[in-house]
């Protein structure tokens, strides 16, 4: 048998992660095996550990912002070879047959829960297996920790903006200056938009402006939010809690659009929606084509997450920091197995 994989798994909902050894998944003819060097910690890892989406398989090894080196290639793979440095995000394969896969919108695959790199086991481990069509070669000038975060947080904000920022003269607000938000500010600025960062933490103002925001608003301050009523064409919501929904919707221009990127519970009164003809939508990761254009866009515009590195053996501490919203702004685990 080939070498065992060593990962960090939880055996139950909400449990701590512990060392867990398993046989490497069988390599399909279109697959590659990647030896993981770095893996970012995403807020959705915590939601998956808590089975928030109701699809988590246990034992569960989280981790889907992966950077590493190709260690084995399937017989039908010609564009990648052993030793190539690559990134992998949340999605590692797709059914290829449903209407969405046929359109190339693989992030909407009807069998989405089977498509994640965390099935059978994710990137908080020594290696993963993915379909080569979801494995992205990285420029040698892009640091591993930067590429790792772009694999989920980066493509999530970029793809949403590529879809919804149809003109650079749109006024854009970003709610939440965290892992997603600090990248969303940078991407929206690079799209040429006037950007307002909204956060409940006054101490994030200076950094938000540094990331490229033109303005900063305290999202939990009624007076400040009243001053921006009817202010924005587009509002990207990256926050996960503490959201005052009716106040938030009032900051949209008539026919404005709220784009959800995180997964908070939404409490809505329909009055503003109807009276101002607002839209609420969501955006999920991005397809392989968006992933590739995101990587070159980020490189061209010098978009970089602010990252704190931690050894993978401290994964539980890292998860706790993210859970408490104390990461500034993203943690990337470095494999020390
Ligand atoms: Zn993620
Ligand atoms: Zn599909």
Residues 73-117: pLDDT tens digits? 999 999 999 999 999 999 999 999 999 999 999 999 999 999 999
Which-ligand-closest: CA of 151? 1
- The tokens describing 91, both together, are 């999605």
The sign of the dihedral angle between the CA atoms of 289, 137, 187, 286 is positive
Bridge partners for 127 per DSSP: 35
Q: How far is CA 222 from CA 137, 228, 258, 330, in A?
A: 46, 10, 19, 29
Whole-number Å distance, alpha carbon 131 to ligand 2 midpoint, is 14
1 has a pLDDT exceeding 50: no
Q: What number of other Cβ atoms are within 10 A of residue 227's Cβ?
A: 11
Q: What is the mean pLDDT of residues 191-208?
A: 97
List, for residues 131-167, the tens digit of each pLDDT value: 999 999 999 999 999 999 999 999 999 999 999 999 9
- The predicted structure's pLDDT at residue 131: 98
Share of the chain above pLDDT 90, in %: 94
- How many angstroms separate the alpha carbon of residue 93 from the centre of ligand 2? 9
CA angle at 242 for the pair 149 and 186, rounded to the nearest 5°: 35
How far, in Å, from the CA of 97 to the mean position of ligand 1? Answer: 25
Is 85 a member of any domain? yes
Contact 149, 305 (CB under 8 A): yes
Q: Span 213-233, mean pLDDT?
A: 97
29 and 128 housed in the same domain: yes
Q: Which CATH number fits the domain that encloses residue 32?
A: 3.90.180.10
Kindly state whether residues 85 and 12 are assigned to the same domain: yes
Same domain, 14 and 94: yes
Per the domain annotation, does 96 fall within a domain? yes
- 257 occurs within a structural domain: yes
State both tokens at 108.
């909407």
Examine the pLDDT at 192 and tell me if it is beyond 90.
yes
Whether residues 183 and 258 fall in one domain? yes
Taking the centre of ligand 1 as the mean of its atom positions, its distance from the CA of residue 40, in whole angstroms, is 8
pLDDT for 53 equals 87
Query: How many angstroms is it from 90 CA to the middle of ligand 2?
Result: 15
**What separation in Å is there between the alpha carbon of 260 and the centre of ligand 1?**
14
| Nearest ligand to residue 106 Cα | 2
309 C-alpha to ligand 1 centroid (Å)? 17
Ligand nearest to the CA of 154: 1
Return the pLDDT at 2. 56
Coil vs helix vs strand at 277: coil
Number of domains composing the chain: 2
Q: How far is residue 226's CA from residue 17's CA, in Å, rounded to a whole number? A: 44
- Residues 224, 278 within the same domain: yes
| Domain membership flag for residue 202 | yes
Residue 108 CA to ligand 2 center (angstroms) comes to 7
- Give the Å distance between the CA of 321 and the centre of ligand 1: 16
For 309, the enclosing helix (H) or strand (E) is strand 307-311
Q: Is 100 helix (H, G, I), strand (E, B) or coil?
A: helix
229 Cα to the center of ligand 1, angstroms: 31
Predicted confidence (pLDDT) per residue in 270-292, tens digit: 999 999 999 999 999 999 999 99
> 112 and 134 in contact (C-beta within 8 Å)?
no
Distance 168 CA to ligand 1 centre (A): 27
Do 57 and 178 sit in the same domain of this protein? no
Q: How far does the centroid of ligand 2 lie from the alpha carbon of residue 248, in Å?
A: 35
- Which of these, 94, 126, 102, 147, lies nearest to 298 by C-alpha position? 147
CB-based burial label for 274 (10 Å; 0-12, 13-18, 19+): exposed
Q: What's this model's pTM, rounded to 2 decimal places?
A: 0.96
Please tell me whether residues 125 and 162 are part of one structural domain. no
Q: Of how many residues is the chain composed?
A: 337
Which residue range(s) make up the domain with 259? 155-282
Show contacts of 11-19: CB within 8 Å, 24+ apart. 11/58, 11/59, 12/58, 13/49, 13/50, 13/51, 13/56, 13/58, 14/49, 14/50, 14/51, 15/49, 16/316, 17/49, 17/61, 17/62, 17/124, 17/315, 17/316, 17/319
Residues 170 and 277 in one domain: yes
- Yes or no: say if 122 and 61 are a contact pair by the CB < 8 Å rule: yes
Q: How many angstroms is it from 312 CA to the middle of ligand 2?
A: 32
Q: Report yes or no: 149 and 304 within 8 Å, Cβ to Cβ.
A: no
Provide the pLDDT for residue 269. Answer: 84
113 CA to centre of ligand 2 in angstroms: 10
Give the distance (Å) from ligand 1 centre to CA of residue 307: 15
Would you say 47 and 62 are in contact if contact means Cβ atoms under 8 Å apart?
A: no
3-state secondary structure of 314: helix
Closest-lying ligand to the alpha carbon of 45? 1
Q: Residue written as tokens 């939990």? A: 220
């Amino acid at each position: 048998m080939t070498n065992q994989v060593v990962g960090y798994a939880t055996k139950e909902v909400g449990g701590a992660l512990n060392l867990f050894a398993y046989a490497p998944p069988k390599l399909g003819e279109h697959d590659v095996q990647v030896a993981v060097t770095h893996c970012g910690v995403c807020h959705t890892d915590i939601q998956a550990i808590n089975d928030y989406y109701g699809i988590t398989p246990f034992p569960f090894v989280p981790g889907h912002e992966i950077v590493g080196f190709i260690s084995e290639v399937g017989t039908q793979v010609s564009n990648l070879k052993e030793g190539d440095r690559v990134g992998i995000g949340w999605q590692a394969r797709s059914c290829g047959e449903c209407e969405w896969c046929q359109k190339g919108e693989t992030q909407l695959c009807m069998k989405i829960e089977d498509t994640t790199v965390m099935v059978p086991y994710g990137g908080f481990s020594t290696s993963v297996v993915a379909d080569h069509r979801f494995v992205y070669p990285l420029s040698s000038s892009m640091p591993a920790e930067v590429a790792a975060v772009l694999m989920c947080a980066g493509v999530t904000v970029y793809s949403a903006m590529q879809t919804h920022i149809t003109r650079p003269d749109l006024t854009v607000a970003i709610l939440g200056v965290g892992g997603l938000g600090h990248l969303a500010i940078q991407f929206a600025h690079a799209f040429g938009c006037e950007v307002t960062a909204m956060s409940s933490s006054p101490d994030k103002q200076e950094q938000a402006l540094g990331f490229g925001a033109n303005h900063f608003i305290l999202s939990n301050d009624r007076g400040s939010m009243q001053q921006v009523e009817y202010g924005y064409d587009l509002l990207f919501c990256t926050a996960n809690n503490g959201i005052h929904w009716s106040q938030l919707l009032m900051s949209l221009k008539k026919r404005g659009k709220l784009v959800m990127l995180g997964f908070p519970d939404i409490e809505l009164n329909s009055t503003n929606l109807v009276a101002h003809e607002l839209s609420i939508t969501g955006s999920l990761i991005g397809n392989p084509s968006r992933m590739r254009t995101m990587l070159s866009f980020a490189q061209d515009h010098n978009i970089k997450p602010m990252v704190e590195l931690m050894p993978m053996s401290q994964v539980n501490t890292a998860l706790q920091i993210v859970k408490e919203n104390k990461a500034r702004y993203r943690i990337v685990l470095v494999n020390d197995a």
